[in-house]
Every structure is written in structure tokens, then in C-alpha cells.
Amino acid sequence: MNVAELRWFLVLADTEHVTDAAAMLHITQPTLSRALHRLEKELGTPLFDRDRHRLHLNPRGEVFQQHVRRALQEISTAEDRIATMLDPQQGTISLAFPHSFGRWLIPELISAYRQQAPTAQFLLHSDAADAVVQSLRDGGSDLIITSPEPADPDLAWHPLCEERLWLAVPAAHPLAGREEVSIADAAAEQFITLRPEFGLRQTTDLLFSRAGHTPAITMEATEIATIRGLVASGLGVSVLPRDPGTAEPEGLTLVPLTDADAHRTIGTAWHRTRPTTPAVRNFRAFIAERTVWQR
């Protein structure tokens, strides 16, 4: 085993998707697949159950994930202490974020930062928004990128961008031909949403509350991609952001929402009083200097 491949395993365990994990790690899919094969061969057991479309972390993988995360945190701490003595630009930054941000925002930020700090290293962890915030409280992460803003006075917050939300409907739906709609127009629809621990669900719950409506939620999922597929199949409607860089599924139409709150604010948070390394402070300063934009 080597440390780099153990870090790759954690990203793969979080995403359970080779393509997404390889993109986040800036390596090829075959490289990641070979590393997983070597790891499972050394341990003498599969760590994932496999189907045609993705991986699923099995009980043995869950145990290994827990121990690897703790071990890498200790290694990261030791590396940071030594790297700080040699060069403040070096050291590992533990960064946590919701799953969907790994498809666009996290690669954009890291790519831009490495132009000015090419030796910076990152330990990446993706999860539901509630778990991401808890990792910051517990000290498992140095920084988080999340939405919405955590309601915790111990955590500092810097908004990074605002992402527009759309009403996602089947292509044959009566609202699909509208130029724009409001939440009130869709109040009687059957909604498919993320589970309550996800930040987008919390944002859309607030959107409905401010509009004075309670949605009829018929399905809850843990991935935005699943919701897109369910909507495209005609099983309901949803409130979603666009999928950056990827065409929407055939059969799905996004209609602009006119409600003033139809967006989510994405930002970074960190602990106000916990000591940090120069590497973390440099990356935090880099993010804080970025202008808020809309997409």
C-alpha cells in the first residue's frame, strides 16, 4: 500500500463512481482501477460490490475506509508540521464538500490555486452537506465548500457563488413549454427531492416555505443524477441546478423559476478558533479573494 493510493481509495469510497473519482483526482480511469485492484489483492478481499453502472462500498470496505481516514489524518498532520518548517506553500489541505461540487467547482478551485501554489496537496472528502459541516466541527476537515451557510457561530463563512435553480420537468409535461414558472405554478405537482441531510434539499425546503407552499414529496434520493433520471422518466418534477458541462438527460426540461429565492449560495467555511497550518491559511485567503459570481 502507498499513501497516494489510499487517498485515492477514500475519494472512490466517497463517490462510488470511477469516472467522477478519477476526474476529481486528475488521473485516468484505468490508473484508478488498477490501483483499486492492487489494494483489494493485497487485502485479499473486494472492498466494493460492483454493478454495470457504479461501485458500492461493501461492509469490508466501510471498515477499511474508517481506519484509512484516521491513518491519513495522522499522516497529514505529520506532513504538515514538517512541510511548514520547510515551505509555507506546502502541506496538505483537508477539504470536504457535497458530492455534486466534485463535478465542477472543486476541480476549478484547485486548478486555479495550483497555478500560484503548485506544491499544495489536498485530501478530499465528499458527503451530504450535514456530514460535511460535521467533519469541520470535528476537526476532520480544515475547510469545507458547502451550501447553504452553516448555522453555527463557531464557523466563519465566505460566499463564493450563487447558483440558479430551475424547475426540472419531463419533456412532455404541460409546464415544459413555459418560458418561466414560479413555485406556485408547480405547487400541485409530485416532487422528487434529495434527502433532508443534503444542502440542496434544505435550500428548496426554504424556497417552498417562503412561497407559502408545502410540496408533495413522493421520492427522496441521495444523488442529483438519480433525480434527473427519475424526472426524465416522467415520475415527477424537481427543483435543481444545471449540471455543469453535461447535457441534461433526454426527456428532461429545465424551466427558469421566477421566485426571488430560486438560487443557492455556495461558500467556504472554517473554524473560527482552531489553529491552522500556513498551507490552509494560504488556500483560505485565495478563496476569500475571489469575487462572488452567478452561474
Q: What is the pLDDT of residues 5-52, one digit of tens each?
A: 999 999 999 999 998 999 999 999 999 999 999 999 999 999 999 887
pLDDT at position 118 is 86
Cβ pair 201, 221 in contact under 8 A: no
Q: How far apart are CA 35 and CA 26, in angstroms?
A: 14
Q: Of 163, 91, 85, nearest to 121 (Cα)? A: 91
Q: What was the pLDDT predicted at 245?
A: 62
Close Cβ partners of 2 (under 8 Å, ≥ 6 residues apart): none
One domain for residues 106 and 238: no
Confidence of residue 84 (pLDDT cuts 50, 70, 90): low
Q: What is the mean pLDDT of residues 167-179?
A: 94
Contact residues for 233 (Cβ-Cβ < 8 A; gap 6+): 170, 251
**pLDDT tens, 226-256?**
999 999 999 999 999 987 766 677 899 999 9
Which of 55-64, 78-87, 99-108 has the largest mean confidence?
55-64
What's the pLDDT band for 293 if we cut at 50, 70, 90?
Answer: low
Cell of 161: 457563488
**pLDDT band per the 50, 70, 90 thresholds, residue 89:** low
Q: Please, where are the H alpha helices in the chain?
A: 3-15, 18-25, 29-43, 59-86, 105-114, 129-138, 199-211, 224-232, 278-288
Least confident segment among 33-37, 81-85, 107-111, 156-160: 81-85
Residue 157: give the domain boundaries: 87-161+265-295
- The DSSP output letter for 140 is S
Domain final residue, candidates 54, 86, 118: 86
**Of 56, 86, 116, which one is at a domain's C-terminal end?**
86
One domain, residues 126 and 175: no
Closest CA to 273 of 159, 155, 140, 96: 155
Read off the pLDDT of each residue in 214-220 and give the average, rounded to a whole number: 95
Mean pLDDT over 215-233 rounds to: 93
Residue range 152-160: mean pLDDT, rounded = 93
Cell 451530504 sits on residue? 128
Domain match, 81 and 103 both:
no
Helix and strand totals (H; E) in the chain = 9, 13
Do the Cβ atoms of 146 and 98 come closer than 8 Å? yes
What is d(CA 281, CA 158) in angstroms, rounded to the nearest whole number? 14
Which of 22, 53, 86 is the endpoint of a domain?
86
Do 22 and 73 share a domain, yes or no? yes
Question: What DSSP character marks residue 261?
Answer: T
Same domain, residue pair 275 and 153? yes
Residues 6+ apart with CB under 8 A from 244: 103, 104, 295
Q: Kind and range of the H or E element at 253?
A: strand 252-256
pLDDT of 290: 72
For residue 295, the model assigns a pLDDT of: 58
Q: Which helix (H) or strand (E) holds 56?
A: strand 55-57
**Tally of structural domains, the chain:** 3
Q: Which of 119, 9, 17, 150 is nearest to 72 (CA)?
A: 9
Output the nine-digit C-alpha cell for 86: 520547510
- Residue 183's nearest CA partner among 131, 257, 276 is 257
Q: Please state, in angstroms and rounded to a whole number, the distance separating the CA atoms of residues 94 and 92.
A: 6
Mean pLDDT over each residue of the chain, to the nearest integer: 89
CATH code of the domain covering residue 20: 1.10.10.10
Give strand pairing partners of 170.
252
- Averaged over 167-195, what is the pLDDT? 94
In this structure, are residues 175 and 185 in contact, taking their beta carbons and an 8 Å threshold?
yes
Say whether both 79 and 101 belong to one domain: no
Are residues 181 and 59 part of one domain?
no
Question: Could you give the angle at the alpha carbon of 16 between the alpha carbons of 13 and 18, nearest 5°?
Answer: 105
Q: Does residue 149 sit in the same domain as residue 271?
A: yes
**Range in 65-69, 163-167, 290-294 with the lowest mean pLDDT:** 290-294
**Residue 289: predicted pLDDT:** 81
Encode pLDDT of 102-142 as tens digits. 888 899 899 999 898 888 889 999 998 999 999 999 888 99
Q: Are residues 48 and 67 in the same domain?
A: yes
pLDDT for 143: 95
Residue-level pLDDT at 294: 57
Same domain, residue pair 3 and 81: yes
Report the length, in residues, of the chain: 295
Query: What CATH number is given to the structural domain containing 135?
Result: 3.40.190.10
146 and 216, same domain (yes or no): no
Residues 62 and 81 in one domain: yes
Mean pLDDT of 213-232: 93
Task: Please tell me whether residue 191 adopts helix, strand or coil conformation.
Answer: strand
